[in-house]
Amino acid sequence: MEASRHRAGTRTTRFRGVLLDWRGTLVVAPTDTWWVRSALERDGRQSGREAVDAVLAALTAADRSAIDSSSIDTDAAAHAAAYAAWFADAGLDDALAHALYAIESEVSANLFAQDVGPLLRTLHGLGVRVGILSDIHVDLRPTFAAHVNPDGSTWVDLVDAWMLSFELGVAKPDPAVFRTALAWLGLAAEDVLMVGDRGAWDGAATEVGITTLLVPSLRAVDDLRLQRVLDLVQPGAELPDQ
């Protein structure tokens, strides 16, 4: 076991790699109310409570079984088709459907928690390899690149591997996702920690031998929870302030 640990200076980490889920773990997902209101405003429509509630009611009554399956995240075209079918079943017109889907696909609308940067920089400084593992239909790299570190690098420079379902053609909870992550990190399962917020999806990492930390879904950017990750990677270490 000792031989498998990574040393950074005089420090010893318990894990040599960390896999991080994105939505619900690192970022706050927009509420449906915000999503619909934003789409109505983007299309130049009334966006008061009555108008928003009417769209939400139509969406709730429509068949959304396809979009609730992670399988649509394995292909960008399939993802778009599933949402188009849902919007059509809800009776939404094409313009509103387009606005809704455009916002759904804007990853920048998902706000990062305030402790994401400190965690990424700390893990990088310890020599811990970091992977972003997400069921997603668009590229996450640009939104990470938009965040600049004190030394002028960006968060992209702190990530060693990207496991995005639309690029892999496979999504959680398929064990193949986690096996691919291990291969791309170049690490054994016992040396990696998976961090996510959904037991049925992220928790499937345990099937390939990866220790998994499940946290409640992020509700606000100032909900600082990522110290728990460092507690497992290097007990006794503290995340720095932003």
Alpha-carbon distance of 190 to 31, in angstroms, equals 36
Q: Does domain 2-29+112-233 have CATH number 2.60.120.10?
A: no
pTM, entire model: 0.92
Strand, helix or coil at 171?
Answer: coil
Does residue 12 have a pLDDT over 80?
no
For the chain, give the mean pLDDT. 94
What pLDDT does residue 10 have? Answer: 42
For the sheet with 129-134, list strands across it. Answer: 161-164, 129-134, 17-20, 192-196, 211-214
Does residue 184 have a pLDDT over 60?
yes
Among 10-19, 74-83, 127-136, 169-178, whose mean pLDDT is lowest? 10-19
Q: Among residues 65, 66, 76, which one has the least CA distance to residue 165?
A: 76
Start-to-end C-alpha separation, the chain: 33
Does residue 2 have a pLDDT over 80?
no
What pLDDT does residue 11 have? Answer: 56
What is the residue-wise DSSP string for 176-242?
Answer: HHHHHHHHHHT--GGGEEEEES-TTTGGGGGGGT-EEEE-PPP-STT---THHHHHHHSTT--PPP-
Going from N- to C-terminal start, the domains of the chain cover 2-29+112-233, 32-108
Q: Among residues 149, 186, 142, which one has the least CA distance to residue 164?
A: 142
Backbone angles phi, psi at 75, to 5 degrees: -155, 125
Does residue 49 have a pLDDT over 50?
yes
Does residue 6 have a pLDDT over 60?
no
What average pLDDT does the segment 137-159 reach? 98
What average pLDDT does the segment 176-195 reach? 98
Alpha-carbon distance of 129 to 122, in angstroms, equals 11
